[in-house]
Amino acid sequence: MELIPNHVPNDPERELLEKLKAGDPEGLGELYNLYFGWICQICRRYEAERDLVYDLTLDILIKAHQKIGSFEGNAKFSTWLYAIARNHCINFIEKRKNERVEPLDPTLINDEDDGSIEDAELRLENEMLLSQLDQCIRTLPASDQRMLAMKYYEAGSIRQLQEEFNLSASAVKMRLQRARLRLAQQIRFPAVA
C-alpha cells in the first residue's frame, strides 16, 4: 500500500498559499482564477441576481486576500474560504432584510412661482416626469432602488453606501453604474421641444 505524501508536488492550493502569504502580487489573480467560479456557486445559493453574485464573489475574494494572515492551516484553504464566503453572504442577506425603499418625495419640485400659467404647466410637467421616473425606479431590483435612493435622494457618500451594503468602494461604484444603466434603459421621457 502506497502512502500519500503530505506535500503533493504541483498542489495549486499550497502554491497559492505560499504566494499569498509572501505578498506576491500575482497571488490575488491566482486566487481569482482558482476560486471565482466556485465562490459564485456558493453565492448563488443566497442570491439570485447575477450582478450581486459577482459583487459578492469579488468582495469575498478580496476579503480572503486581506485576511490570509489569519489562515492557520488547521483545515484546507478551501474550507477556510468557504467559511468566509458563507458568512459574508449571510451577513449580506441579513443587512438586506432591513432595507426599505422609499418613494420619491414630490416636495423636491420647486414651488416658488408667481402663479402664472407657464409656471403651473412647468410644475405639472415636472410632477409627471418625477412620477414617470419613480415608476421606472420601481421596476429595478430592490437593492438598486435603495442604492440610487441613498446616493441621489439622501446624498449618501460612497463610504455610507459601503457600510450600508457591506461592499467595497469599487463594488459600490460598479453597482451604482449598473443601476444607472438599468434606469436609463427604463426611462422613456418625451422629447423636449
Query: Is 80 within the bounds of a domain?
Result: yes
User: Do 111 and 171 belong together in one domain?
Assistant: yes
What pLDDT, on the 0 to 100 scale, is given for residue 189?
A: 47
- Residue 70 CA to residue 64 CA, distance in Å, equals 9
Q: What is the pLDDT along the chain (193 residues), one digit of tens a residue?
A: 333 334 444 566 777 777 777 777 677 777 788 888 899 999 999 888 888 888 899 889 888 888 888 888 788 888 888 999 999 999 988 887 776 656 656 555 554 545 566 666 777 776 776 667 777 777 888 888 888 878 877 777 888 888 888 888 888 888 888 888 777 777 654 444 4
Is there a domain that residue 191 lies in? no
* Residue at a domain's end among 97, 117, 147: 97
Q: Which of 44, 73, 97 is the last residue of a domain?
A: 97
Residue 82, pLDDT score: 92
Q: How far is CA 170 from CA 65, 162, 166, 177, 190, in A?
A: 16, 9, 12, 11, 34
Q: Is there a domain that residue 117 lies in?
A: yes
Residues in contact with 184: Cβ distance below 8 Å, sequence separation at least 6, in sequence order: none
Q: Which of 97, 131, 159 finishes a domain?
A: 97
pLDDT, position 10: 54
User: What DSSP state is assigned to residue 68?
Assistant: G
Q: Same structural domain for residues 20 and 89?
A: yes
Asked if residue 1 belongs to a domain, the reply is no
CATH number of the CATH domain containing 131: 1.10.10.10
What is the H or E stretch that residue 64 is in? Answer: helix 50-66
pTM of the predicted structure, to 2 decimals: 0.49
Cα separation of 70 and 74, whole Å?
11
Domain assignment present for residue 63? The answer is: yes
64 and 16 within one domain: yes
Instruction: Take residue 80 and report the three cell numbers written for it.
Output: 477556510
CA separation for the pair 66, 58 (Å, rounded)? 12
CATH number at residue 52: 1.10.1740.10
Has residue 3 been placed in a domain? no
Q: Report DSSP letters for 117-158, one per residue.
A: HHHHHHHHHHHHHHHHHHHHHHTS-HHHHHHHIIIIIS---H
Same domain flag for 133 and 88 = no
Write down the pLDDT at residue 105.
Answer: 60
Q: Which domain holds residue 178?
A: 106-186
> Is residue 62 located within the same domain as residue 89?
yes
Q: What is the pLDDT of residue 187?
A: 66
Please give the tally of structural domains in the chain: 2
Does a structural domain hold residue 127? yes
Same domain, 137 and 115: yes
